Structure 1
């Protein structure tokens, strides 16, 4: 029965590759959906701020931080998709793509966290920043 073992491994590898491809597609779709949902929520927040006549740097900063948070979440999904792709077919292009997404995600998260802390301290110091 030595001939059945290689065919079993081949079927298993093909099934694993198919599963990985499906998982990557799901993660990429979640990434796109997150960007779209974040855009819609951000536009709604901007519209509400405009209708309430809350214009200025604080309102703009809040809208920017909202969208930045959604983008960071989308990059998390994209990073997951790239990890799956790289683990199943580790080509040089996949490794570069994974590295680029990881660097962008890390930088975005660092700057987003810094901006969130600055906004929180600004709101706690200014009386008009309180809800």
Structure 2
């Protein structure tokens, strides 16, 4: 069904993004990650996005040896979470479960958006 396909596509995108985060990189002066990762989910706890983030985060935490904390920040069509992530240090320790609304539609729908998806957020996966 359409929902199943969307969920699979979403899960695949999240897995790809996390694979990028978990992959060792020579660009980092120190080994990455050196501290916990904060995963911001722009939807309420208990939903599909929260479930995926917690499930994948738990596995990722085991692989990297550091906690992955899921932080739910629902509201304003994902703009609250996106704004918070956009204001965070660009060090790879804060990630966002973003969707088309976050990255495309919000900037088209709202004239005063508190983040710029092209300048403030980096797409991975």
TM tier, shorter chain?
0.3 to 0.5
The structure in which a higher percent of residues are helix is 1
TM-score by length of 1: 0.32
Is the radius of gyration larger for structure 1 or structure 2? 1
